Amino acid sequence: MAHSVYSEREVFLRELVSNAADASEKLRYEALSDEALAAQAGAPLVTISLDKDKKTLTVADNGIGMNREELVSALGTIANSGTRAFLDKINADGGGDKGQSLIGQFGVGFYSVFMVADRVEVATRRAGSQEAWLWTSEGKGSYQIAPAQAEEAPAAGTRVTLHLNAESEEFLDAWRIEQALREHSGALAIPIEIAGAPGEEPRRISDGAALWAKPKSEISNEEYADFYRQLGGQFDEPALTVHWRAEGRTEYTVLAFIPGSRPLDLFDPLRKAKSKLYVRRVLISREIQLLPAWLRFVRLVVDSSDIPLNVSREMVQQSPVVAQIGKAIASRIVQELGKLAEAEPEKFAGLWENFGAVIKEGLHEDPQRRDDIFKLARFASTRASEKTRTLKDYVADLRENQTAIYYLVGDDRKRLAHSPQIEEFSARGVEVLLLDDAVDAFWVTSCVGYEGKPFKSVTQGAADLSLVPLKEGEAEQSAGDASAEVAALATRMKEALKEHVDDVRVSTRLRESAVCLIAPEHGLDRQLARLLAEHGQ
């Protein structure tokens, strides 16, 4: 089963090295408030040792380690039935990319070792502890834990030994390991050494310098992309990478990415924008909320020297410096999005397709950024089947005597484009925005307008278009044209429909279609009314 979860077996290395890097970050954090730990902690290091005779691959770190309880809860769960059921479900769902990112999300990355090993031993010592433990499993639903014998016990940290299976002996070759690591862990913030055979002097293959601390000119696109995948549990390429250092009142470095595809938790009801915060390369929080919810898809790392190291994680979230940094980062990201929209409209269109629905939440929630967001927003309309029209375009192309920005909200812009409600608008060449994201029903009501033009739903009341000239070849029609028979029909329909409608009117807004539904002039837009009804309001 483990074979199908990851398409490439070598990712087990990335999982182990990233756990080792996490463990060293945790130790550095605890050492901040524990002098004894600080005195013992060595420079972070991962050592990979190979033994061709024993067919073992060992990944050792000098990080935080685990006590017995932690070992049970962290690694025991991989063998318990709930996790297995979960993994089997991923397997049943087809595994592949989806399975991979699910694994990242649910933190069962360690399990990937059983793709390449028949048996795995984890010898570990919690930092500062006298005791060391040995966990052993064959990945078949059970495990053993015993005190580690003196010769098995690591002096510090954790040692994971894989007894490689027959199909995985390639990983006994140092060059193969190096190649796999370069591919997957080039951007990991921990130095890595490799010893190709027992007794061989370890060789350093990665310096572990934090990527964000390096000058941009020294970082390749692949390194950025690698780092992004590590950071966000994504498996794609970033759509936008922004890396900058702010100097001035507060100093910090930011490395931010906009994903190339929608993260799985994009519409999670908690709507948390989780970022990683480092203070002088010490990881303080992996899920600090720096950005507003409508930028929650941005994956970022910020490292600042201006945040006090001795405050608790909870305090950091409340810190005014953090709030100020978050604001500045949000501004910069909005600015970069604007630049991308100018310079690479097609790329931006893809990004907007993925995240526009989330960014538009900001129109409703973040009135101060409304103008900025309006600049970014791209709409489909009766003039553009894809989301390419800006409000600026719309206003520039207003028809003579047109006083409002008209829109129609629904679930599917292709269907909206054929809606009877817009017939009269088309006859007069009045553009109608076709809004098909759920969030659209909300912001159109909370935003007063754009450049003095109110937003107006075409389903609402009697739109007065009579002053807008007709397009060539279109004829004026008036309610007066309606015959007595049509008026009688309207009365009959009203009687038949009873309380289901407020009114049935003879209208000039239709040209091709026989009837359409509209909302009362001062009532809720039809789509909004439907949404509220769905939510039981």
Task: Please give the annotated binding residues for ATP, written as ranges.
Answer: 15, 19, 61, 66, 81-82, 105-110, 158, 313
Which listed option, Mg ion, ligand ADP, none, makes contact with residue 74 (CB within 5 to 8 Å by class)? ligand ADP
Contact between residue 66 and residue 131 where contact means Cβ atoms under 8 Å apart: no
Query: Among Mg ion, ligand ADP, none, what does residue 75 contact (CB within 5–8 Å per kind)?
Result: ligand ADP
- Contact region for ligand ADP (CB under 6 A) — 63-71, 206-214, 446-454, 465-473? 63-71
Is 184 or 360 the residue whose CB approaches Mg ion more closely? Answer: 184
In 3D space, the residue among 394, 408, 512, 535 whose CA is nearest the CA of residue 460 turns out to be 408
The entry of Mg ion, ligand ADP, none that residue 424 binds, CB within 5 to 8 Å by partner kind: none
Angle at 473 between CA 472 and CA 474, to 5 degrees: 95
Tell me if residue 206 falls in helix, strand or coil. strand
Assess 99 for contact with ligand ADP (CB under 6 A): no
What part of residues 143-162 is at the interface with ligand ADP (CB under 6 A)?
158
Q: Segment near ligand ADP (CB under 6 A), from 33-41, 101-109, 259-267, 342-350?
A: 101-109
Structure tokens at 212: 């964000």
**Residue 242: closest CA among 361, 351, 319, 321:** 351
> Which residue has tokens 């010592």?
125
The residue range among 103-111, 296-304, 461-469, 492-500 that interacts with ligand ADP, by the rule CB under 6 A, is 103-111
Integer Rg of the chain from CA: 30
How many residues does the structure list for the chain?
Answer: 537
Min dist CB 160 to ligand ADP, Å, is: 6
Q: Within positions 5 to 24, which residues make up the interface with ligand ADP, using CB under 6 A?
A: 15, 19-20, 22-23
Residue with tokens 């002039």: 521
Tell me the helices (H) and strands (E) count for the chain, helix number first: 19, 19
Site string for ligand ADP, 107-126 (x = CB under 6 A): xxxx----------------
CA 339 to chain centre: 21
Residue 104 interacting with Mg ion (CB under 5 A):
no
CA distances from 198 to 11, 62, 165 (A): 24, 19, 19
**C-beta closer to ligand ADP: residue 19 or 354:** 19
Question: Rounded distance, CA 429 to CA 478, Å?
Answer: 18
**Which residues neighbour 482 within 8 Å (Cβ) at sequence distance 6 or greater?**
506
Q: Is 232 in the site for Mg ion (CB under 5 A)?
A: no
Q: Which residues between 15 and 34 bind Mg ion (CB under 5 A)?
A: 19
Which x/- pattern over 69-98 shows residues binding ligand ADP (rule: CB under 6 A)?
A: -----xx-----------------------
- Asked if 176 and 76 count as a contact pair (C-beta separation under 8 A), the reply is no
Is 109 a binding residue for Mg ion by CB under 5 A? The answer is: yes
Q: Which is nearer to ligand ADP, 112 or 419 (by Cβ)?
A: 112
Q: Which stretch binds Mg ion (CB under 5 A): 77-85, 108-116, 388-396, 460-468?
A: 108-116
DSSP annotation of 413: H
Binding site membership: which residues?
15, 19, 61, 66, 81-82, 105-110, 158, 313
Q: Least separation, in Å, of the C-beta of 534 and ligand ADP?
A: 36
Spatial distance between the Cα atoms of 526 and 518, rounded to a whole number of angstroms: 7
Q: 5 and 87 in contact (C-beta within 8 Å)?
A: yes
Contact status: 137 vs Mg ion (CB under 5 A): no
Tokens linked to 455 = 């937003």
Q: Which residues bind ligand ADP (CB under 6 A)?
A: 15, 19-20, 22-23, 61, 63-66, 74-75, 107-110, 158
